[in-house]
Amino acid sequence: MSEEAKVGVFVCHCGMNIAGTINVKEVVEYARTLPHVANANEYVFMCSAPGQDLIRGGIKKNGINRVVVAACSPSMHEPTFRAAMAEAGLNPYLLEMVNIREHSAWVHSHEKKRATEKTKALIRMGVAKAVLLEPLEEFRIRMQPTSLVLGGGVAGLRASLDLAERGYKVHLIEKLPTIGGRAVRLGTIAHSEISGTDLLKPVLDAVESNPNIVTYVNSELEHVDGSVGYFKAKARRNPRYVNAKCTLCEECIRVCPVEVADEYDYGLSKRKAIYLPFKEAHPHIMAIDPVACNKCGECVKVCEPGAINLEEQPQDIEIVAGGLILATGYSPYDPPIGEFGYGRSDKVLTLFQLERLLDPEGPTNGKLAVSGSVPKNIVFIMCVGSLGITENAHPYCSRMCCASSLKNMIRITQLYPDTTIYALYKDIRTYARRDEKLYELATESKIKFVNFEKTPTVNVGQVGVSVQVRDATLQENLVIPADAVILAVGMAPSEDLSKVRSVVKVGCSPEGFIREAHVKLRPVEAPADGIFLAGAITSPKNVLETSMAGSATAAKASTLFSQEEYRVEPITAQVTEELCSGCAICIAMCPYGAISRKTVGEKYRAEVDRALCKACGACVAACPSGAMQQAGFKDTQVLAQVVAISERRTGS
């Protein structure tokens, strides 16, 4: 400090709230004896106008340069007193409030003498800290009211539309050659007759036509710099090789020599290396799969409009955004080969594959053909990949698979009344609004429900497939021959997450999804400011929940964008470079990714991004050399309070 600290102590009566228990006169006299205290005053209500005048007067006329207000909790009036100080020309962070109401008068009213002694001690501690306070400035960032949305599924689409409708610009980045995500692949939406594609078509159209949304398909996010208010992102648009001149004449498909499994149908059908991603692909043109394509050029020869360019190069895209919405979805649980016979027989399918089979516009035109024919006996094994039922399974419940499976079972009974269905379940969780009805309907139909405690096994033999299960209700072992086994697999964390996390500083929850700031109170925000999480990126969700999450992130992002400047509290961590050894211990301490290690010549030093620092101080306590400190809570400042618990006068 260049100047000597002159502390003004202001003790409030708060009417009788404090004065009724504490001997305020004694306290004020005591305060006058403390080192560096230039004057001490009392007033009935320090927060009132005359009370604030006392403080302002002290600053302007008596040269007070540190203010200690002994009164109620800072949660009540800290801003009031800070404002009063600022009006008088003193930095508002040179204030230390001492809580003598909630923490003394109100809780020790039966021990007035001891309460007064405690009050003196608290003020002594407050003064000791105030002497060492330093002026602080709020940090401000210009807000860029544009959002980057990563992922073009339900969550990302909903978020983009909501933001665009509010007038904010959106850059939507999608890895695949089309937006739509996985929901478009649903055969029928529960409680309706329409397919996922039909459900989402209006949304896809709206996104494509909205002038505030720029969509980049075939693109991936490669690098992000900056922080809330001003993110600088680099995305890469990978070549599609086909441009808007494409008329979908399909001549290219006819001549393409390469055939691969179609991922859209989860491997149940084949497509060529040049293909239309799906019926409602947006943009509505062909795409070339760069991995499958052998660059033979046959398609180019037959393309009349000249829409194909096999020399197309990747393009770098630079985007500046004030906030990021991550909506990269999930990956369906992929059973390892052999789990419940998966991969060992074409009679064993996943729930996602079943959806494709039941889609009237799917690979079998809606006909449930498994291994060539309509199955007479279908066994659904529920909870596959969830509830820890196998070694490879996740421990959590995947939420959407019960309703989804029941929906499909009922559909099958409607389409194929002669087919017998067994549903083997560890638990049935039809929690949502109309989903219990599905369960009722299912039990009323001919579906046979078998509860298991011990995980069933699937036997793939020469003759066919059978499922063994111990019925926990009947306490009997059953062997069920099956023409089809449907594994009701759940949602697992997306396989894209490691790439996402290498680009954006977000952490993982124990289950492997991206971790939200607070699982109940802040479910769509990442801990770091300006990063929002929509949809299954944080946990399994059905379409409704995903849609809600998308809207929620748009609302959160709007709150951010509506501020012209983003203000950061100044009590942030700061590193003194001359003392920093670059040991990097602090970096892992920060849940917000606010600290990074930079190189200075050949050495390393820690660096704090003030826009991200939330001022918890965890890095400060960990810093082994004391180079990292927290403004307003420096070691010296807190230790001054600690030393002052003792009556010993420490002098200046």
Partner 1 sequence: MTEKPKIAMYWCASCGGCEEAVVDLAEKILDVVGLVDIVFWPVAMDFKTEDVEKLPDGSITASLINGGVRVTEHKYMVEMLRRKSKIVIAYGACSSWGGVPALGNLYNTKELISRAYNEVSSLNNPEGASPQPSMDVDGTTLELPPLLPRLLPIDQVIDVDYYIPGCPPTADVTWNALKALLSGELPPKGSVIGASDKALCDQCPLNESKPDKVLIKDLKRPHQVIPDPAKCLLTQGLLCLGPATRGGCEALCVKARMPCTGCFGPLDRVTDYGAKAASFMASIIDLQDPEALEEVVDKLPDPVGTFYRYTLAASSLGGSVRGNKS
Partner 2 sequence: MSESFEPKIVVFACNWCTYAALDLAGTSRIKYPPNFLVIKVMCSGRVDPQFVLEAFRNGADGVLVAGCHPGDCHYIEGNYKALRRITLMKRMLEKFGIEKERVRLEWISASEATRFAQIANEMVEQIKALGPLAPRLEVSA
Instruction: Tell me: does residue 597 bind partner 1 (CB under 8 A).
Output: yes
Question: Which strand (E) or helix (H) includes residue 412?
Answer: helix 401-415
Residue 38 or 585: the one with the smaller Cβ distance to partner 1 is 585
Q: Long-range contact list for 495-498, CB < 8 A, 24+ apart?
A: 495/331, 496/175, 496/328, 496/331, 497/328, 497/537
Q: Which amino acid is at 234?
A: K
Instruction: Tell me: does residue 38 bind partner 2 (CB under 8 A).
Output: no
| Burial label, 252 (beta-carbon count in 10 A; 0-12, 13-18, 19+) | buried
Instruction: Tell me: does residue 123 bind partner 2 (CB under 8 A).
Output: no
Instruction: Tell me: does residue 58 bind partner 2 (CB under 8 A).
Output: no
- Please report how close the Cβ of residue 234 comes to partner 1 at its closest, in angstroms: 20
CA angle 238, 241, 242 (to 5 degrees): 120
- Please report how close the Cβ of residue 68 comes to partner 2 at its closest, in angstroms: 14
- Please report how close the Cβ of residue 226 comes to partner 1 at its closest, in angstroms: 18
The site string for partner 2 over 124-163 (x = CB under 8 A, - otherwise) reads: -x--------------------------------------
Q: Which of residues 81-100 bind partner 2 (CB under 8 A)?
A: 99
Residue 157 or 627: the one with the smaller Cβ distance to partner 1 is 627
Question: Which strand (E) or helix (H) includes residue 382?
Answer: strand 377-384
Which two structure tokens, joined as six digits, stand for 193? 């007759």
Q: Which amino acid is at 358?
A: L
Q: Which residue has the tokens 């062997």?
A: 479
Helices (H), 33-148: 49-62, 74-87, 112-131
- Please report how close the Cβ of residue 622 comes to partner 1 at its closest, in angstroms: 4
Instruction: Tell me: does residue 519 bind partner 1 (CB under 8 A).
Output: no
- Please report how close the Cβ of residue 124 comes to partner 2 at its closest, in angstroms: 9
Binding-site partner at residue 578 among partner 1, partner 2, none, CB < 5 to 8 Å by type: partner 1
Q: How many CB atoms lie within 10 A of CB 450?
A: 23
The whole-angstrom separation of Cα 87 and Cα 80 is: 11
The whole-angstrom separation of Cα 94 and Cα 64 is: 10
CA angle 215, 274, 349 (to 5 degrees): 90
Q: Which of residues 622-651 bind partner 1 (CB under 8 A)?
A: 622-627, 635, 639
Binding-site partner at residue 579 among partner 1, partner 2, none, CB < 5 to 8 Å by type: partner 1
Contact (CB, 8 A) for 537 and 506: no
- Exactly one of 245, 454, 603, 649 binds partner 1 (CB under 8 A); that residue is 603
- Please report how close the Cβ of residue 515 comes to partner 1 at its closest, in angstroms: 13
- Please report how close the Cβ of residue 139 comes to partner 1 at its closest, in angstroms: 24
Residue 223 or 470: the one with the smaller Cβ distance to partner 1 is 223
Q: Which of 414, 587, 397 is nearest to 492 (CA)?
A: 397
- Please report how close the Cβ of residue 517 comes to partner 1 at its closest, in angstroms: 17
Handedness of CA 333, 338, 342, 344 (dihedral sign): positive
Q: How many CB atoms lie within 10 A of CB 627?
A: 20
DSSP state of 282: S
3-state secondary structure 168-206: CEEEEECCCCCCCCCHHHCCCCCCCCCCHHHHHHHHHHH
Residue 1 or 642: the one with the smaller Cβ distance to partner 2 is 642
Instruction: Tell me: does residue 629 bind partner 2 (CB under 8 A).
Output: no
Handedness of CA 152, 158, 164, 167 (dihedral sign): negative
Scanning 79-87, 115-123, 268-276, 332-340 for contacts with partner 2 by CB under 8 A, the matching segment is 115-123
- Please report how close the Cβ of residue 591 comes to partner 2 at its closest, in angstroms: 4
Scanning 114-122, 166-174, 299-307, 587-595 for contacts with partner 1 by CB under 8 A, the matching segment is 587-595
Contact (CB, 8 A) for 153 and 330: no
Instruction: Tell me: does residue 315 bind partner 1 (CB under 8 A).
Output: no
Binding-site partner at residue 118 among partner 1, partner 2, none, CB < 5 to 8 Å by type: partner 2
- Exactly one of 71, 90, 92, 117 binds partner 2 (CB under 8 A); that residue is 117
Contact (CB, 8 A) for 445 and 410: yes
Q: How far is CA 479 from CA 379, 410, 465, 467, 473, in A?
A: 11, 23, 10, 6, 15
Handedness of CA 289, 290, 296, 297 (dihedral sign): positive
- Exactly one of 582, 591, 610, 633 binds partner 1 (CB under 8 A); that residue is 582
Q: Which amino acid is at 644?
A: A
Instruction: Tell me: does residue 531 bind partner 2 (CB under 8 A).
Output: no
- Exactly one of 35, 331, 591, 597 binds partner 2 (CB under 8 A); that residue is 591
- Please report how close the Cβ of residue 484 comes to partner 2 at its closest, in angstroms: 43
Instruction: Tell me: does residue 646 bind partner 2 (CB under 8 A).
Output: yes
- Exactly one of 604, 607, 615, 633 binds partner 1 (CB under 8 A); that residue is 604
Contacts with partner 2, residue ranges (CB under 8 A): 73-75, 99, 101-104, 106-111, 114-115, 117-118, 121-122, 125, 517-519, 527, 571, 589, 591, 614-618, 620-622, 630, 633, 635, 638-639, 641-643, 645-646, 648
Contacts with partner 1, residue ranges (CB under 8 A): 578-585, 587-589, 597, 603-604, 618, 621-627, 635, 639
